[in-house]
Amino acid sequence: MLRQNFVQRLAQYPLRRAVGVRGYKAAVFQPSSSIMLPKSIYTARWTTANLKHARLASSEVRGYARSRYEEFKQWQNEQRSQQQSHEQPPSEPEWEYRPEGPSGGRVLLLRPTLWALAFTAGTFYVCSNVFIGHQEKLLKKSRNLLDMFWAAPDGGSESDRVWKIMGDPRVQHLVGMYHNVHSEEHARMIRRIARLPEWVPHEVKRTVVALTDRWYKLSRGSRCVYTIAGLNVLVFGMWQMPRLVPFMARRFLHDPRSGLSYTMLTSTFSHKDLWHLLFNSIALVSFGTSVANTMGAEHFTAFYLSAGVLSSLASHVLAPLRPALILPSLGASGAVYGVVGAMMMLFPHAQIAIIFLPFIPMSISHVFPALLAYDFAGAVLGWRTFGHVAHLAGGLYGLAYLEWGTEYWNRLVRFIDRHRRKN
């Protein structure tokens, strides 16, 4: 009798109890799903003899519910994946660099060598012409020095032109009549800022004027160094634009297998990592300002560009010796090493501080040879940490140029000066 009552209670279990919690959820949440319970549960005569059949039916129900729950979980995962795919736009396939060029993957030697030598010669020629033109302007200003005290009747002196520019009502409203001006070019820049549209806030104009004052307060050599650093930052910003990455990899990476020669120059201004940009920029500003103020802006420009190109050429020419190390290169490290080498030649007793040991001053005559020795070991042993060949070539070029190259610069300047006077 007790067994019969137990079987009857088992038959009266609700669906949730019979199929289990998981099976019940699957039946509720699974659309277009229905659990067909075995017919024997409802039609069997619940007697002691049928107890075994009831147990089999119960296990059958639970097994069926378990399978339906697994189907429900699979459907639920599919719905979630579809929802995520609709919410998130399809990502573009990641671009992969592959060297392309007329060389067919071979490392050319003659063409890049001729290009580097021609570029170096052309750069020195152009910069020397600009240098002579600037010297002629200074000579003309020195001849009209008395115009600062006795103005010419026609008002043609620079002081008169500056006074006229600063007398503009909009300039006076922005900075006043007696604002400190370093040159006529400085005054013209202030007038351009004052003539900006009215919707530009007055505070913004004053901020730009303050930055302009600091810029023109710098020497020409310092302005040259900061301009190079600004170009490096600009190229770094272009690297951060995903759409420009393929273009930057083709035009601002130097790969010896690409067959392109001008990338030896463009890669000198290219930095893809922030730490690389910061390290080179700090070194360039720290050492470059002293070297540029000593050389002059034009002379330093020719020296810096030639150091960058020739250091890339050295890395290019020596690349076939270790084919496994032929990798695309970028960075101004070779040119910066040349600047540090020139700094050591100009100021051999200068005290410098290494970035990792800022409180321990060291002589540049001790630090720089140690860096060259480290890069020499890296170039011989094939280390892939940095571009050791480019570093070594740039440093040696800086030392050699300050020892013998400055005399050739002076000869070139005298030659061009005589040629211009004859014409």
Question: Where in the sequence numbering do the catalytic residues fall?
Answer: 333, 391
Distance CA 147, CA 160 (A): 9
CA angle (53, 57, 60) in 5-degree steps: 140
**Residue in the structure block whose two tokens are 């005399």:** 407
Distance CA 238, CA 252 (A): 10
Nearest Cα residue to 299 out of 118, 419, 134: 134
Bridge partners (DSSP) listed for residue 329: 254
- Residue 336 main-chain phi, psi, to 5 deg: -65, -40
- Residue 363 main-chain phi, psi, to 5 deg: -80, 135
Count helices and strands (H / E) in the chain: 18, 2
CA dihedral 180, 185, 191, 193 (to 10 degrees): -100
Nearest Cα residue to 31 out of 63, 99, 78, 64: 78
**Cβ contacts of 262 within 8 Å, gap of 6 or more:** 115
Q: Interhelix angle for 333-346 vs 274-295, to 10°?
A: 40
| 150: helix, strand or coil | coil
- Residue 99 main-chain phi, psi, to 5 deg: -65, 130
Q: Which two tokens stand for residue 22?
A: 């998981």
Cβ contact 368:270 at 8 Å: no
Distance CA 238, CA 262 (A): 18
Q: Which long-range contacts (CB under 8 A, 24 or more apart) does 229-236 make?
A: 229/281, 229/284, 229/285, 231/269, 232/269, 232/271, 232/277, 232/280, 232/281, 232/332, 233/277, 233/281, 235/269, 235/270, 235/271, 236/270, 236/271, 236/272, 236/274, 236/277
